[in-house]
Every structure is written in structure tokens, then in C-alpha cells.
Amino acid sequence: MGDPDSEDLEQREGLGQWEQAGGWQELTVDEAAAGERLDRWLSQALGEAVSRSRVQALIRAGAVRCGDAPVTEPKHKVAAGERYALEVPEAAPAEPLPEPIPLDILYEDRDLVVVNKPAGLVVHPAPGNWSGTLVNALLHHCGETLSGIGGVRRPGIVHRLDRDTSGVMVVAKTDLAHRALSEAFADHGRSGDLERAYDALVWGAPDRLSGTIDAPLGRHAQSRTLRAVVPEGRSDARHAVTRYQVKKRFGSDGRGGAFAALVECRLETGRTHQIRVHMAHIGHPLIGDQDYGRAFRTKVNRLPDEVRPTVAAFHRQALHARLLAFRHPVSGELMRFEAPPPADMKALTRALDIL
């Protein structure tokens, strides 16, 4: 992260006063801080300017000194009257390169940006997708307004959507926003105001109009990139809970059930492929899901001629992150964003309406 803002270097009770000294920030230990761990004392002194993990990394890198000697142990205990100097380097350029990829920006301020991600856009660079990602697009869009996440000038990804899932995402622009939003998403809204709602078009329809799927997820037996419902006691099992509500049923399967349904899913946990695996687990995989809905592809052949081409041509999971609500990490304001379904899901819904 770059040099902390002047407002973050004002005197903090019991910690002293930061002073500039040849590119270094210097601070004398007060009596009240004597015996404190160096990393804890420095992170408190810096306030929200630099995270504690970042302070620890700077200490180990030799960027903190007492007098003329570097101190490289974060657990080092400070003594009253000692004078420490800290050099926080400018944010290094991010490894991904900025790319002028169009973005649908729903909201933006100095701390965060909310986007409506289209299907087909990978969120983060990875092997096989080093360019053309949301991160590349945000690096170009945000530019110098990114203050550096963990010392690197980059957008802070706090949650993800699969490549072929569309919808609302929030991305942090500052270290403070990244930490606060990461904590909120890790808590899954249990003690806060985080709310996530997804619209899914599924094969068939659950017998009950609403319900809860509580089934742990782990590695798929045949593929390291896929997930599956696994026994609770397995070493890789992760607690996963999805609440669903049937919003609309389409047609009849000839056995008293619907041919397809529009289902709203709300997450109580945030596991990889959670909605897709859970809906398949209860016998209603997402239309178009090439990984978890393969056994249902032949159902397309039973559709009327005026419906079949649209459904057969839908080659991604029919999943859209429609709603995202959270507390702003700085102002505390409750933020709420909704994005209508994209054109392909609208077309799929219109075709199913014919049933």
C-alpha cells in the first residue's frame, strides 16, 4: 500500500505521533504501549491504513527498524521510549494487465465497485485464463483509484461467481474495504446484513414450494474441478446450506409434476458450485449445466417444437445472481443491488412459458 493518508497518521491515544523522516514514518513508543507486540502496536498505530498481516510482512522484509537496526520478528516486544521507523513501499503493479473490457457498473465509490458480471467472464486470472477476466477489466477501469490490496495495486475479490453464472458482484478497491467485506462474506450474513439471492431455472420442480438443503460438499470422486455431496465425516467435507423457494412452474411432465421451474436460491454458506450441486442433489439440476445436469439432457427431446431449439441451445447453467445486499465497509450504510436476468435467461424463460 502507498503512504498512508495524513488523516490516518494523526495521533492515536496511547500510541504517539507519526513523523516523516526521509521517506520513513517514525513513531516513539508511549508508556501505555510498553510490552506490546511490535506487529500489533504498529497496526494499531497505523489504524486502518495498513492491515496487520501487511505489517507482519513488512517487518519480516526488514522495512521496520529501531534506531539503526532492522527488527524482523513480529513478536518482538516494544519498550517505552523506543523509536521505530517504518517504510511502507508504494503499491507494486499488479501482475495481470489492464484490459479495456466493457463493464456494467451498478455503483462505484472510493472504496468499492459493484458490477453486473455477464456470463462467460472469468473473475480472476488463472492457468488457461490469464487475460480477458474481470480483474483485467477492473484494473483498466479503476486505474490509480486502486490504493493497493496487501501492497499490490489490484482489485480485492471477496466472492466469486462461476464463469457461466451472471449477476451482481462487489469488489474492494482498498485494503480496508477488502478486509471488512471479506469478513462479512466469510460470516455469510449470520451476524450482519449480507444477503444473496440467485434465480435458477431447473429441470422439474421440488415437491415443496420452499425448503432447505443442508448437505456437506467435498471433492468429486472423478474430477478435481467438480464438487459433490459427501458424508459429513469425510476429511474434505464442508458445511453447506442452501434455502430455496419455487417462484414459478412450467408445463407438466405427465406424472403430476412440472417440466421445469424458476427457483430462487439463497445461500447460508458459500461453497464452490453450491447451488448447482445442491439442486442436482435433490433431483432438479440447473438447465444447461454441462457438469451436474448431463443426465437430464435427453429431456430436451420431449419438449414441443417451438420450445426445443431455445432450450437445446442454452449451454451454460441457468443461474443468475439477482440480488446482493451488504453494509458499506466504511459508511456502514446498507447497500442493496439487483440486476435483471440477462437476455439469454429471459429468452429461456419465455420459451418455457409456452409449456
- Tell me: pLDDT of 349 over 60: yes
- The CATH class of the 6-86 domain is alpha beta
- Tell me: pLDDT of 293 over 90: yes
> Exposure pattern of 290-324 as b/e (b: 16+ CB <10 Å)?
ebbbeebeebbeebeeebeebbeebebbbbbbbbb
pLDDT score for 147: 74
Side-chain half-sphere exposure of 16, counting CA atoms within 13 A: 23
Catalytic residue among 30, 111, 162, 164: 162
| pLDDT band at residue 47 under the 50/70/90 scheme | low
Domains 6-86 and 92-187 share a fold: no
pLDDT score for 23: 53
Percent of the chain with pLDDT over 70: 88
The predicted model gives 283-308 an average pLDDT of 94
Percent of the chain with pLDDT over 90: 64
| pLDDT band at residue 287 under the 50/70/90 scheme | very high
pLDDT score for 38: 92
Cβ atoms of 232 and 188 within 8 Å: the answer is no
- Tell me: pLDDT of 21 over 50: no
| pLDDT band at residue 11 under the 50/70/90 scheme | very low
User: CA-to-CA distance for 275 and 187, rounded, in angstroms?
Assistant: 18
Q: Which residues are paired to 238 by β-bridges?
A: 217
Task: Dump pLDDT digits (tens) for 119-158.
Answer: 999 998 876 678 999 999 999 999 888 877 767 778 999 9
Q: Which residues are paired to 210 by β-bridges?
A: 245
The chain-wide mean pLDDT, for the chain, equals 87
- The CATH class of the 92-187 domain is alpha beta
pLDDT score for 50: 66
The predicted model gives 75-94 an average pLDDT of 80
Residue spans of the domains in the chain: they are 6-86, 92-187, 195-353
Residue (of 72, 42, 68, 76) closest to 60 by Cα position = 72
Residue (of 18, 330, 346, 26) closest to 184 by Cα position = 330
pLDDT score for 33: 86
Does the annotation count 187 as an active-site position? no
CATH architecture observed for domain 195-353: 2-Layer Sandwich (3.30)
- Tell me: pLDDT of 262 over 80: yes
pLDDT score for 9: 29
Task: Dump pLDDT digits (tens) for 112-129.
Answer: 999 999 999 999 887 667
> Exposure pattern of 34-55 as b/e (b: 16+ CB <10 Å)?
eebbbbbbbbebbbbbbbbebb
